[in-house]
Structure 1
């Protein structure tokens, strides 16, 4: 998905598709079908990330309802993002066989249907299972949306079209958490996630009615051997492995902090109501700005310099959040968010730049590790909070950032060694 994700994922774009020649049958701004397509994919992005993170702002209420610990309730987030991470690659292969529009429609249909069942979960175990299925179904959206755009939109308009899809991801990820927080304050978490389910159904129906029929898709075989070989080659590349690890570690911090922050802010000395806690996710807007400036940071500092700055900003935010002053805690969240999105933007863009072939699979692998990092961070961060309070979650975050710095330092040394060998 995008370089920035307010809950959002990494775009999967094949370079060959991006450079495809224009023709009169492709969608272009101002032309027939372009606005319908843009609105359809914007709504798909809203539904995807509103559903994916629908329980994150509600975890204290879920814990209270089921008598569960923070670490147990956090699985309602971890299993959703983990399911998405595990199914991105298989879904990308299915879209090659059955078509982007078909797979996106099926994915949204299953995910929204499950979303309507979630409010009636009789136990935490059933809720977690439903969320895992929902995450796996949602994997079909990022796996297909940008491929559809690359095939159907003129190359000059592609970045703008992808930007609208990314904006939908951001709006869905942010507004879903804000809406659930305020609705839950009045009527409880079940009505809250049910509201997100109904909104997502409306988005899914509108998506299916608006999205133009594809004109340039050519069905192919699943070719699992070819896919496996491409994946193996990417995983054998040391630089790509480092970038995948950096994305996962940054997301561990982000996932852990935002999964647990609701518990901390409901406790003393803060004691904030659920609606205000949901509104905390408006901080995501800071991430949109920091990600958009990542390109300028790389131009001035280089990729590694930008990663060091992102890591330092994230660490400063983590340490600042340890205070007992609400304003300073919020400032800490701003710094954590800005640092995370900048680091994610640098790492995800470097993946596409590094991969010489199979860029779609390289980006899909990044997305898989990214969401596995989210899943791990949500679970481990909640376990740390249960054991040692907020300082435990911060400690986990600092260790993850140290991992980013260590990997970056190792990469710098490896690059210098390669240059010395090349000039020897």
Structure 2
């Protein structure tokens, strides 16, 4: 087998293309998150209802991941990812002219389905095409693209919403995503270790069954649910907090606060390398502990301390997500696409469920209630991470010990 390694032109092309694809995916998927207060005002809906603009998209994506891995086996990795990026960008442009909130939700559901063609297949591509010793670094760079996409999407939309309207912000994101989708098609090296094959529905579900029958993988899926559940809850409702009393920030200033995503851009790459050197289990514990420290720091009232807490929390989340993503490929060599799909199914289910439930905590208990919920999720994630490492050691005592401990 021929792998992509550092020092080769393909390494730069592949990592940058995947970075760009991740940028598009997360910029589009979370494009309504900073707009939730504006959507509440524009469409006269409650915060928990406004959060559905994100939850329905992530839920549609999660459900679609159950079958999208089989489509990639039949259609091909690169082709499916490219179509996904292109069509989802077109839908963003259409969302900008939604006449009512119901239509916006319908379009967001369709967009969630189309976005599903990229993330799990990108994870499978990394595990198949990159040399094993480069996977941690490559996955870290891919996750960095998700953080940059989330950051820039929020900043652009926030600023344009203040100057023009929320519709203008989403329209511009759609055009930018369309350009990156075209660049992705020409830049990503064709897969060399994957052969297209016709796989029936029965075999797709058989592979999903194998991916769901692995106890260590179930733990990793659960990690994804818990980690992103806390992360999305934090960013869903911090906008309401900062635009209200005593801060009273504008949509533009709230958008620029998402620049703390740069902490995630750094941590995902850095934690990926750290996991390669000290083991994923230790690195995971460090990442979750950092995230918990940042979460609790946001309870302080001064704005600069609250923003510092957001940055620390974001650093921990993206580091943990990068490590968990690498675990999936390690634990499922024979059914990576299906395992990646299930990981992201749990991941985006956590986004949908916890993100919506967080609205109830916000309405009932304010910011302290939101932080209490996130703290519980992270504490459970810490325990689950330890359980995963034990399962790996039990399955492969010699080979796995260095990676899990």
TM-score for the superposition, normalised by structure 2: 0.85
- Do 2:147 and 2:264's aligned partners in 1 also have CA atoms closer than 8 Å? no
Stretches of structure 2 lacking an aligned partner (at least 5 in a row): 397-405
Match of 2:116 among 123, 127, 139: 139
1:362 paired with 2:345, answer no
Residue 226 in structure 1 maps to residue 203 in structure 2: yes
Task: Indicate which of 304, 324, 330 corresponds to 2:301.
Answer: 324
**C-alpha displacement at 1:307, in angstroms?**
3.8
Given that 1:21 and 1:155 are in contact with CA atoms closer than 8 Å, whether structure 2 keeps it comes out as no
Report SS of the residue matched to 1:120. coil
Higher mean C-alpha displacement, 134-143 vs 229-238: 229-238
The equivalent of 1:194 in structure 2 is 171
| Residue 277 of structure 1, CA deviation | 0.7
1:253-292 to 2 correspondences below 5 Å: 253-292=230-269
User: Which structure has the larger Rg over C-alpha atoms?
Assistant: 1
The verdict on how the C-alpha distance between 1:377 and 1:207 changes in structure 2, with shifts beyond 3 A counting, is same
Match of 1:57 in 2: 34
Deviations, residues 34-85 of structure 1 (Å, cap 9, x unaligned): 8766665544333222211111111111111011111111111112222222
Displacement of 1:226 after TM fit?
2.4
Tell me by how many angstroms 1:396 deviates.
1.3
For residue 162 of structure 1, report the CA deviation from its aligned partner. Answer: 6.2
115, 119, 124: which one pairs with 2:96? 119
Displacement after TM superposition at 1:153 (Å)? 7.5
Of 318, 321, 328 in structure 2, the residue corresponding to residue 341 of structure 1 is 318
State yes or no: 1:246 paired with 2:218. Answer: no
Contact 2:124-2:340 at 8 Å conserved across structures: no
The equivalences for 1:10-409 within 5 A come to 20-21=1-2, 40-145=17-122, 165-208=142-185, 218-294=195-271, 303-355=280-332, 357-408=334-385
List alignment gaps of at least 5 residues for structure 1. 1-19, 420-424
**Partner of 1:357: helix, strand, or coil?**
coil
Structure 2 match to 1:12: none
CA contact (8 A) 2:298 2:305 kept: yes
Kindly report the root-mean-square deviation, in angstroms, between the aligned alpha carbons of the 2 structures: 3.4
| CA–CA distance in structure 1, aligned partners of residues 335 and 67 of structure 2 | 15
The residue aligned with 1:5 is none
Moved more, 168-177 or 366-375: 168-177
1:346 shift after superposition: 3.1
Q: Is the 8 A contact 2:25 2:118 kept in 1?
A: yes
Q: Is the 8 A contact 1:28 1:153 kept in 2?
A: no
- Would the alpha carbon gap of residues 115 and 404 (structure 1) be closer, same or farther in structure 2, given more than 3 Å must change? same
* Greater Cα offset, 294-303 or 138-147: 294-303
Determine the structure 1 residue equivalent to 2:401.
Answer: none
Q: Is residue 212–residue 218 contact of structure 2 (8 Å, CA) maintained in 1?
A: yes
Q: Which residue of 2 aligns with 1:7?
A: none
Q: Distance in 1 between matches of 2:190 and 2:387?
A: 48
CA distance in 2, matches of 1:216, 1:406: 36
1:155-183, Cα deviation, whole Å (9 max, x unpaired): 89887776665554333222111111111
The answer (yes or no) to whether the contact 2:2–2:193 under 8 Å persists in 1 is: no
Deviations 1:307-337 (A, max 9, x none): 4443333333222212221112112212211
Question: How does the TM-score come out when normalised to structure 1?
Answer: 0.81
